[in-house]
Amino acid sequence: MKNIAILYICTGSYVKLWQDFYVSFEKNFLESCNKEYFVFTDAAELYGERNNKRIHRIYQENLGWPGNTLFRFRIFDSVRDRLQSFDFVFFMNADIVCNEAVSEEMFLPSEGELLVVQHPGYFQKKPYEYAYDRNRKSSAYMSYLEGKVYVCGGVNGGSTSVFLHMVSVLKKRIDEDYSKGMIAKWHDESHINRYIWENSNYRILSPAFCYPEGWDLPFDPILIVRNKSRIIELDPDKVRRQIRKVHIWESAWKRLKNIWWKMVYCCLGR
C-alpha cells in the first residue's frame, strides 16, 4: 500500500472549507492508499481530528494576502523531515473537493516524477497567451518564446524526493526575490510554471482535476474548485487587486503585444 501525504493550508476563515474537503477525499481519493493530512492552520481544532490520527494539525500563522500563497513552499519545507517516509506528497487548495472516485492509475505519477494539472483557463490557448510572469527581474520570468503548457497552482505534488526538491528550489527563489522587493505575477503558480519548463519529469493531468465550479468545460469534473465566496468572506483588498490585474492584462498594449507574438509564432510554425 502506498503512503500519501496531503498538504492543506486553511488559516483564518478558510478553515470553513476543511470539512467538505476532508470528507470528499476520504470517500473518493486514492482509496487503495494510506492517506495522511498535514493541515497548516491557526484553528484550535479541525473537523475529524479527534477520531483520525492521520490528521496532523500544524499551527500556521495567517500570513494574509499574498503571504499564504506566496510562501507556501516555506510552509511545506517546515515539515520536510516528517514527509520523508511517504511515497508521494500532494498539495491541494483549500477550496477543492473530490467529486468522484480517483484511482492510482488516474492520478499518481511515476516514481521520480512531479504531478501538475493543466490550468482550466488556458488549456486551449497558445503559449504567448499564457499568464506567465514576463518580468525579467523575476526568477519566475518566462520569455514569449518559452513554455509549452500552463499549469495551475492549486493541485500539484509528486514522488516525495522530487517534490521536496522543487519545494527547496522555489522556496529559495521566492525568498531571494522577496528580499529584493519582487513578487512573481501569480505567486507560487508563476514559479511552478517556470520550474516545469526547466524540468520535464512530470505527469500532467487535464483540467478535470482542477475544474472551477460553475464553468462549462469539455471535461467531466473530478476535482472541483468551489466558489469559495459562497462559503467564506473574501478579503476585499485581494479582490480589488485581482480585478486590477485582469484590467492590466486586458489593456490595449497587452492585446497589441499578443497580436505581435501571434505573428511570430505563426512564422515559427508553433
Strand partners, 9: 40
Q: For the chain, give the number of residues.
A: 270
* Residue of 26, 36, 111, 189 marked catalytic: 189
Q: Is 26 in the active site? A: no
- Cβ(99)–Cβ(183) below 8 Å: no
Enzyme catalytic residues: 189
